Every structure is written in structure tokens, then in C-alpha cells.
Amino acid sequence: MKKEEYQRIFELEEKHWWYLGMKKIATSLLSPQIKNKNNLEILDAGCGTGGMILCLQQFGKVQGIDLSKEALNYCRKRGLKNIFQASVEKIPFPDKTFDLITSFDVLYHQWVKDDLVAIREIYRVLKPGGYFLVRVPAYDWLRGKHDKVVYTRHRYTREELVTETRSAGFKILRATYANTFLFPFAVAKRFLEKILPEEKTSDVKLLPNFLNSLFTKILYLEAAAVSKFDLPFGLSLFVLTQKPR
């Protein structure tokens, strides 16, 4: 990812509608499994600028790894300390270390040469009975200009990610798409991009306050829905798994 993108994410991660909504959806998926726990050993595998680490701290002690020095520098600006430069394909922790591992928009990236190797590494460092929550962008046919800027290698279907996590040994608990309610607008935007001048930045931009607030509320509604059932399509894909005891 380009250096200026890390700065943009760092500045917007606590107020941009997409980040706020994704945190809410992730919490909706995790909370029923780890009810009222606040002492878990947690790894955010591919922690970026650290916004999700702050969110996950409600569940326990969080450590983070990321391959980008630039991202880790922004984590330090947030005051985060338990962060390490490492690849998700070679996680620098012993077997059976963590109760919960998360990986948000990491496996899709060009820096991950083999996503199944990464999933198996996550399985290795997870304790028996531990949980793994992964999020990736959905549908390769939705690839657009944003994907060029953020170095997208692949966008996934639910069937693909379920098959890969299951083949690594995980039990599937949930597999749901997200950013479903705004999906038609996103599809329209992707097709318009084909005729509009190419932008040099990603889709991570702060909208006018009323739109940012509206889109945040829409994703919060999705989070409430996801707490009860899986969504059939969307821009993002979440899979929640458990390592057998």
C-alpha cells in the first residue's frame, strides 16, 4: 500500500463510516462467542495502523503484527506497544499462543503470496477452542481503481474462503457478507469508474457529515442483522471459525 494511504487510514479510522461499521459488525460476530470475556490473548494479524487493536482491547490483551514499517509507526503514534513487524505467512509466536486471532483485509493483499499458508500459520498459533475471524473484500468481478491503489491480489467469494479455512482444519461458525445495503450503489460506482478519469487515491475519503452519519447508521443496522443471520451478498466477507478442541 502507498505510504499516503496509511496516513489517510490513520486519520480517518476513528470517524469514517466504513471503519466504524466494520468494527461494529466484527463485534456483533465475536460477542456471542466470547460473552463477557476481557482476559483473552489476542493477535491482530495484519494490524495496519492499529484501529482494530483499540477495538479488540475490550476482550483482552492484544498484540499486532504487520509487514509494513509505515503501518507500525502509526500504531506507535496511537500509543500501542505490543506490535511486531512480521508476515502472516510466518507468524513469530509459538504454537497454541492465542485465544482469538483476527485478520481484517489482509489475506487479499499482494504481499500475501499464499493465503492458505497464512491461514495454516494462524491455525498453528491459535489455542484449541480458539476463534479466528477474517474479513476480505468480496467478488473479483468488483475489482476497481481502489484495488489498484491498495494492491489487491484477489477478492473472494464465500465458498472460496470457507473452503480454504476448512481445509486448514477450522470449524466454520459464521460466513456472512457485509456492506450489503449499499451494495447496489457500489456496483454502480465500479461501472462508472470504467468511463471516468482514473483516480490516484483509494476510496478512503471522508464524506460530508450527513452522508458519513447516514452510512454509519446503515452499517450499524447491518451489524444488528448480522448478529442474527448471515447476509447473502455484499462488498465485504466475514468468516468466523473455531479451532477444534
pTM for this entry: 0.93
Percent of the chain scoring above 90 in pLDDT: 78
Q: Which residues contact 19 (CB under 8 A, 6 or more apart)?
A: 12, 13, 51
Which cell numbers hold the place of 98?
A: 492465542
Q: Which residues contact 169 (CB under 8 A, 6 or more apart)?
A: 120, 123, 243, 244
Instruction: Give pLDDT tens digits for 138-160.
Output: 998 888 777 777 777 899 999 99
Instruction: Give pLDDT tens digits for 20-55.
Output: 999 999 999 999 999 889 999 999 999 999 999 999
**Cα–Cα distances in angstroms (integers) from residue 125 to residues 60, 72, 121, 189, 210, in the given order:** 17, 21, 7, 40, 43
Torsion sign (Cα): 206, 212, 218, 220: positive
pLDDT of res. 5: 83
**Every domain of the chain and the residues it spans:** 3-242
Instruction: Give pLDDT tens digits for 47-57.
Output: 999 999 999 99
Q: Residue 25 in contact with residue 226, Cβ under 8 Å?
A: yes
**Cα-to-chain-centroid distance, residue 219:** 15
Instruction: Give pLDDT tens digits for 79-93.
Output: 999 999 999 999 999
What rounded mean pLDDT belongs to the chain? 92
pLDDT of res. 201: 59
Which CATH superfamily hosts domain 3-242?
Vaccinia Virus protein VP39 (3.40.50.150)
Confidence of residue 111 (pLDDT cuts 50, 70, 90): confident
Helices (H), 13-153: 17-30, 51-56, 69-77, 115-125, 145-149
